Amino acid sequence: MSTALITGITGQDGYYLSKLLLEKGYTVHGTVRRSSTFNTTRIESLISEYGSQGKLQLHYSDLLDSTSLNTLISTIKPDEIYNLAAQSHVAVSFENPVFTTQTGTLGSIALLESIRTSEKNIKFYQASSSEMYGGENEVSLNEESLFDPKSPYAASKVFAHNITKIYRDSYDLFCVNGILFNHESPHRGETFVTRKISRAVGRISVGIQKKLTLGNLDASRDWGFAGDYVRGMWMMLQHDKPDDWVLATGETYTVKQYLEEAFKVVGLNWEDYVESSAKYFRPNEVNYLLGDSSKAQKELGWKPETSFNDLVKMMVESDIELAKREAVLIKEGLMKPTWENSN
């Protein structure tokens, strides 16, 4: 069976992609950085199920250390590499632009160089982002739309996207770019707005939070389910020829609409609990993103299967259960709330 290497395996997409590949019979290797905050929480269930069989293996490696990457790739000899590693929070990229840029740019080159010099023909997936477009105009965006990055994160993604195309064209490598619009899940990081909302709704519903403060409530995004999108990643590497594809739902909703749907799950009016603060606005806002995935639907046979309403409900219901457990721990004096406006 096939062997895959996933950078960023401990993130949301890393979890869903690992799960998909393992269920398809792959042997999956993942890279993790040496860190005192090393966290495998998302993939613990996969480690428990597949780790003892040797089907899921983790390796210490750093995208900024090309020597360790070369050694790892030459040792495990993967058939496919999925580059998901990044500092992926747009707001944080303004606070830490150097690290964001280094990881997003040098990491992709290091992987591509390892593939170029490898004796094996390795297929490569680069995680591009809808943030590359900038969202200046309210238009549907596809593979031919121009990039206009508005953040250090987006700029680093544009570089990685372009260098992947350059290596594909210059060295005849099987390299693809997946331009994914926003994709969420119960495993989304808690600093992302969708998860901030679902966490707050869960806590408010069980009485351990009073208010939620957010930034731009009018920002509009094309939100899909991460589980659907990693299936598209895999499909790209199974295609006859390497290319670039947009994955999106073709629908866009504002943060206000997300709030309305999320609070509706627990029978509450979001306006009674949510405030907007300028301190949470980005230095350079992306106001509107809407994707056109017709090329992926036609050439790959991919389409999103999870509706916006089902996605929001899935996230809120998951975080209600988490909030219930937190409420018990607080009551027993085993946990102290660290979130805003806690009761």
Active site residues: 129, 131, 153
Helix (H) or strand (E) segment spanning residue 277 = none
Asked whether 243 and 261 are in contact (CB, 8 A), the reply is no
DSSP secondary structure letter of residue 285: -
Show Cβ contacts of residue 175 under 8 Å, excluding neighbours closer than 6 positions.
Answer: 112, 115, 123, 124, 126, 164, 165, 167, 168, 242
Asked whether 198 and 274 are in contact (CB, 8 A), the reply is no
Residues constituting the chain: 343
Helix (H) or strand (E) segment spanning residue 89 = none
Q: Which residue spans within 130-238 are E strands per DSSP?
A: 175-180, 183-184, 212-214, 220-221, 224-225
Q: At what angle do helices 97-117 and 66-76 cross, to 10 degrees?
A: 40
Q: Burial of 233 by CB count in 10 Å (0-12 exposed, 13-18 middle, 19+ buried)?
A: buried
For residues 17 and 10, give the distance between their C-alpha atoms in angstroms, rounded to a whole number.
10
